[in-house]
Chains A and B, each alone.
Chain A
Amino acid sequence: MTEAASRSRSTRGRSLWRLSAQRLMRNPGAVTGMVVLGVLVAASVLAPWLTSFDPIALAPRDRLQPPGGAHWFGTDAFGRDIFTRVVYGGRTSLQIGFVAVTISTLIGVTLGLVAGYFGGTVDQIASRIVDVMLAFPGLLLALAIVAILGPNLLNAMIAVGISASPNYARVTRGAVLQAKELAFVEAAQQSGARTWRILVLHVLPNVLGPIVVIATLGVANAIIAGAALSFLGLGAEPPTPEWGLMLSDGRAYLRHAWWITTFPGLAIMVTVLAINLVGDGLRDALDPRMTR
Chain B
Amino acid sequence: MFQYIVRRIVAALPTLVLITMLAFSMLHLVPGDPAEIFLGENKSSPELLAQVRSDMGLDRPLHVQYLGFLGDMLRGDLGTSLNNGRSVVREIATRLPSTVELTLAALGISIVLGVGLGVLSAVRHNTWVDSAAMFVALLGVSMPVFWSSLLLIFFFSVKLQWFPAIGQGGIERLVLPAVALGLLSSATLARLVRSSMLDVLSQDYVRTAVAKGVRPRAVTFRHALKNALVPAITVIGIQFGQLLSGTVITETIFARLGIGRYYVDSLLNKDFPVVQALTLLIATAYVVINLLVDLSYSLLDPRIRYD
Contact = CB atoms under 8 A, between A and B. Distances in A.
Interface residues of A, number: 43
Contacts of A135: 15, 19, 241, 282-283, 286-287
B40 interface: no
Contacts of A255: 154, 158
A128 interface: yes
A42 interface: no
A93 interface: no
Interface stretch (A77-85, A198-206, A224-232): A224-232
B279 interface: yes
Interface stretch (B24-32, B45-53, B225-233): B24-32
Contact of A128 (B14, B26, B134, B286): B14
A268 B143 contact: yes
B142 A273 contact: yes
A105 to B, nearest CB: 19
A23 interface: no
Interface in A235-292: 244, 247-248, 251, 254-255, 261, 265, 268-270, 272-273, 276-277, 280, 283, 289, 292
Interface in B259-297: 263-264, 267-268, 279, 282-283, 286-287
Contacts, number: 122
B126 to A, nearest CB: 8
B141 A138 contact: no
Nearest to B278: A140
A132 interface: yes
| A interface SS class | helix
A138 B248 CA distance: 11
Contacts of A244: 144
Given A143-B267, A254-B154, A269 B19 contact: no
Given A132-B15, A132-B22, A261-B147, A138 B138 contact: no
Interface stretch (A1-9, A57-65, A144-152, A177-185): A144-152
A270 B143 CA distance: 10
A176 B143 CA distance: 34
Interface in B197-255: 199, 241-242, 244-246, 248-249
Nearest to A261: B147
B131 A29 contact: yes
A131 interface: yes
A268 B282 CA distance: 30
Interface string B112-144: 000000000000001000010011001101111
Contacts of B27: 144
A269 B142 contact: yes
A231 B249 contact: yes
Contacts of A272: 138, 141-142
Contacts of A268: 142-144
Interface string A87-103: 00000000000000000
Contacts of B22: 132, 136
A138 B144 CA distance: 15
Interface in B151-202: 151, 154, 158, 187, 191, 195, 199
Contacts of B73: none
Nearest to A147: B30
B200 to A, nearest CB: 12
Contacts of B139: 269, 273
Contacts of B131: 28-29
Contacts of A134: 241, 286
A131 B11 CA distance: 12
Contacts of A276: 138, 141-142, 187
Contact of A138 (B30, B31, B242, B267): B242
Closest A-B pairs by Cβ, 8 of them:
A139-B245, A272-B142, A227-B144, A135-B283, A137-B244, A137-B241, A137-B245, A269-B142
14 contacts: A29-B131, A132-B18, A134-B286, A139-B248, A140-B263, A228-B146, A231-B146, A231-B249, A232-B249, A268-B143, A269-B142, A272-B142, A273-B138, A280-B134
